[in-house]
């Protein structure tokens, strides 16, 4: 037949994060468009083979094959793993690697395991730092997409059963930083000091408020990053329009282009037109921010206890940027930095 005399190099793999299983997390790798029948496997970061939980290969009407291989990752096993699918005739391979944050593995305590499984927002939160290496004649191209899917049938989760998480290596933009802010050399830490740093007063720079923006700009897509807030008494985090006013005293509300939450001495508030306090059971030392541009959502998570904090809904237009405000350090009372964390 036609396909017996030809070869097909399949699609880039998709990884589906399906559910907790056997004390770990079941992940499945899918790829289609292969001929002849492809081979597939999972490896840890040292190249060791991981046992397969299942393997399914099917052939479409056009003669091309689709494969799905699943494995169960445990907290004890290495969490950075890769799926490999290759054409045995061409010796060409496609690979997708993922990293699952440790806190999303079920704990030994039964009520914690149950809590992690049944709460839909925890399932949506699963942050994946991913990268995809395409190997074809030795050429590699990097893609940072991971496909998240949950089989839980809770109504809250149903409307977003599939999400693409783009975990970001966010950096601070020194050109926007208030002159009383000090940024680390790697643009990851920011702290307010009482002394003016003598920076030029450009149009981009915030002159009165202790704000610095992230370098990244968003016009589409879904993006996730985390910020260490430590034991700071005051902080504000979120996103804003690139076109927000930079000069003078500002009101951080959505009509002005700001979608932010703040912490002040143990109280947590969403900065809406009428400030909206929200309860927090465990004080977060790290906050996760998830922007879904098309859905018009900015979600905040307490990474410390894996709980959802607050969600803004809006119809976005124009460019959005990460927003960081360590707030004033008056007399050394709020001197801890905000730290952008690797995810």
Band (pLDDT 50/70/90 cuts) for residue 165 is low
Can you give the pLDDT at residue 12? 80
pLDDT tens profile 10-50: 888 888 877 778 878 888 999 988 988 999 999 887 788 89
Topology alike, domains 8-104 and 162-341: no
Can you give the pLDDT at residue 164? 41
Can you give the pLDDT at residue 152? 28
pTM score, whole prediction? 0.57
Superfamily of chain region 8-104: Immunoglobulins (2.60.40.10)
Is the model's pLDDT at 99 over the cut of 90?
A: no
Average pLDDT, the chain: 79
Partner residues linked to 286 by β-bridges? 228
Query: Token pair for residue 195?
Result: 């002394």
Is the model's pLDDT at 332 over the cut of 90?
A: no
pLDDT tens profile 210-262: 999 999 999 998 899 999 999 999 999 999 999 999 999 899 999 999 999 99
Query: Token pair for residue 208?
Result: 């009165």
| Highest mean pLDDT pick, 92-101, 107-116, 276-285 | 276-285
- Dihedral sign for Cα 329, 331, 333, 336, please: positive
Can you give the pLDDT at residue 77? 64
User: Rounded CA gap, 147 and 117, in Å?
Assistant: 19
- Cβ atoms of 269 and 277 within 8 Å: the answer is yes
Can you give the pLDDT at residue 110? 46
Can you give the pLDDT at residue 7? 63
pLDDT tens profile 167-196: 788 999 999 999 999 999 999 999 999 889
Q: What is the CATH number of domain 162-341?
A: 2.60.120.920
CB under 8 Å to 79, separation ≥6 — which residues?
A: 73, 99, 100, 101, 102, 105
CB under 8 Å to 238, separation ≥6 — which residues?
A: 258, 259, 260, 261, 271, 289, 298, 300, 312, 323
- The domains of the chain are located at 8-104, 162-341
CB under 8 Å to 41, separation ≥6 — which residues?
A: 49, 50, 52, 69, 83, 84
Can you give the pLDDT at residue 161? 31
pLDDT tens profile 74-98: 877 656 788 999 888 777 788 887 7
């Amino acid at each position: 037949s036609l396909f017996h005399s030809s070869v097909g190099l399949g699609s880039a793999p998709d990884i589906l994060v399906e559910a907790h299983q056997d004390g770990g997390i079941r992940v499945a790798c899918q790829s289609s468009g292969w001929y002849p029948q492809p081979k597939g496997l999972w490896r840890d970061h040292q190249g060791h083979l991981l046992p397969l939980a299942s393997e399914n290969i099917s052939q479409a009407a056009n003669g091309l094959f689709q494969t799905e291989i699943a494995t169960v990752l445990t907290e004890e096993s290495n969490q950075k793993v890769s799926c490999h699918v290759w054409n045995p005739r061409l010796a060409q391979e496609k690979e997708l690697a993922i990293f699952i944050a440790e806190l999303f593995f079920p704990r030994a305590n039964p009520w914690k395991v149950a809590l992690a499984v049944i709460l839909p927002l925890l399932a949506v939160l699963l942050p994946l730092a991913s990268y995809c290496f395409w190997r074809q004649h030795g050429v590699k191209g990097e893609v940072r997409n991971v496909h998240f899917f949950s089989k839980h049938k809770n109504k809250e989760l149903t409307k977003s059963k599939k999400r693409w998480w783009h975990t970001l290596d966010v950096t601070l933009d020194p050109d926007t930083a208030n002159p009383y802010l000090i940024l680390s050399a790697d643009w990851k830490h920011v702290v307010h000091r009482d002394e003016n740093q003598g920076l030029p007063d450009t149009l981009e720079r915030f002159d009165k408020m202790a704000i610095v923006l992230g370098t990244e700009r968003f016009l589409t897509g879904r993006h996730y990053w985390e910020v260490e807030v430590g034991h700071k008494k005051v902080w504000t985090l979120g996103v804003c329009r690139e076109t927000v006013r930079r000069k003078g005293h500002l009101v951080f509300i959505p009509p002005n282009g700001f979608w932010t939450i703040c912490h002040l001495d143990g109280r947590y508030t969403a900065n809406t037109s009428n400030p909206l306090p929200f309860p927090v059971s465990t004080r977060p030392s790290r906050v996760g921010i998830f922007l879904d541009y098309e859905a018009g959502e900015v979600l905040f998570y307490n990474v410390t206890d894996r709980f959802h904090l607050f969600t803004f809904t809006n119809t976005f237009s124009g460019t959005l940027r990460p927003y960081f405000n360590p707030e004033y350090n008056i007399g050394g009372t709020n001197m801890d930095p905000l730290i952008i964390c690797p995810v």
